[in-house]
Amino acid sequence: MPTGVYVRKNAVGDRLKAGMAADHAADFAQWLRERRYTPLTIVERLRLLASWTHWARAESYTLAAIREAYAASFALITAGRCPRFRGDVNQDAVETAKLFIAYLEDRGVLACLPAKPVAPLVAEFAAWVREQLGLAETTLATYLGTITPFVDALGETPSAYDAATIRAYMTGRAKTVSVSRMKGISVGIRAFLRFLIATGRCRPGLDHAMPNVAGWRLASIPRFLPDADIARIIGACAGERRLRDRAIILLLVRLGLRASEVARLSFDDVDWRQGSIRLFGKGRREELLPLIQEIGDALLAYIERGRPALAVPSLFITEYAPLRPIDRITVKCLVKRALKRGGIESHYKGAHILRHSAATAMLRHGVSLTNVGTVLRHRSPVMTAHYAKVDIALLSVIAQPWPGRSPC
């Protein structure tokens, strides 16, 4: 984030005193210190805040209209227009303005904006799937992102839904999104229709009105990295500065964990005496995986020498302020950076490619399809058999006899 371009301290102070942050600069700095920002980062944030408030003052914005000022400066950046005042408005300055607004809300100086109301029908669906299906919050958030536009378009009266309306909506969405995205939309809306049927809000069988999205199931070749590339990725996480990265990468490439599963790990999930890791996978199923020596050593190194002293049960913490438990996006970004450091050329740069790589590596080293499915926690053996495509010899295990006549 620091740009390396600094102005004189007295110039920063003069701008802060003249702008809308005049009465809050010192307390804002203390607020940043409470959130574990480093001294150099705090200095840089104050410089950026001084630049942004200087621009806002020139545009006649006051503290009461700070949200409008932020929206206007954000529009300048996203529109690609050259801001005035020789760079007082840039991406880092706008981000600092957003952080300053969060400070004002936290201190009670600025009233928090009310959250966007959720339709009662959508809220009931969320409560129902949590109780009945045990969906993870990340999956539920994806569902709600597809269901909310559906309800906005068709209304909150499910008894008025019919096959023609549903198909017209799905056909319209298909024109604006990719095939893979459309499949995700179909899954979410179909689950919503089944909720409506189960609770007696619409007639049975309406979920069958959903048109199928074209695409061959499991037709693609599994995406994976060879062993040499995996070794380079692990090597790219060497050193004291990357103890967290190494532990996470090993969990992904050795046990095939999902990004969300890594992010949710807590201290209670690691049983050091029994040598196991407890996971809550899809459907909140509790499952155990072995804590192999390599992963155990990496976790201990991170806990003892790399983890910030933050009193939360989550195992993995962000490296920079504000310190908080990581999420699945953090894991994906971590993998992307490790691939870049290792010089790995791959079209796919997310964390899931390491899960695929773990599965194919186990198969190539003689692990049976059944055991691979156990480690990956697949519900269906069909999903595990998909990985046999990477090895022609393994295809004989799942190949079916040809039903036709033998050639002459």
Decide if 17 contacts 9 (C-beta within 8 A): no
User: Could you confirm whether 355 is annotated as catalytic?
Assistant: yes
Decide if 318 contacts 37 (C-beta within 8 A): no
Among the listed residues 242, 244, 258, 307, the single catalytic one is 258
Decide if 88 contacts 43 (C-beta within 8 A): no
Among the listed residues 244, 355, 356, 386, the single catalytic one is 355
User: Could you confirm whether 387 is annotated as catalytic?
Assistant: yes
> Angle CA(193)–CA(195)–CA(197) in degrees, nearest 5?
70
Decide if 185 contacts 226 (C-beta within 8 A): no
* Whole-angstrom distance, CA of residue 207 vs CA of residue 188: 11
Q: What is the DSSP string of 323-378?
A: P-B--HHHHHHHHHHHHHHTT---S--STHHHHHHHHHHHHHTT--HHHHHHHHT-
Q: What is the DSSP string of 33-55?
A: HHTT--HHHHHHHHHHHHHHHHH
Among the listed residues 242, 254, 378, 386, the single catalytic one is 378
In this structure, what token pair is assigned to residue 15? 């701008």
In this structure, what token pair is assigned to residue 262? 């890594």
* Whole-angstrom distance, CA of residue 170 vs CA of residue 161: 13
Decide if 261 contacts 249 (C-beta within 8 A): no
User: Could you confirm whether 282 is annotated as catalytic?
Assistant: yes
Decide if 263 contacts 326 (C-beta within 8 A): yes
Among the listed residues 223, 282, 341, 349, the single catalytic one is 282
Query: Which phi and psi angles does 287 have, rounded to 5°?
Result: -140, 155
Q: Give the CA distances from residue 257 to residues 68, 139, 191, in Å, rounded to whole numbers and listed in that order.
A: 43, 16, 26
Helix (DSSP H) and strand (DSSP E) numbers for the chain: 18, 3
Among the listed residues 103, 143, 161, 387, the single catalytic one is 387
User: Could you confirm whether 352 is annotated as catalytic?
Assistant: yes
Among the listed residues 130, 232, 352, 377, the single catalytic one is 352
DSSP-H helix ranges across 237-342: 243-255, 259-264, 293-301, 328-341
List active site positions.
Answer: 258, 282, 352, 355, 378, 387
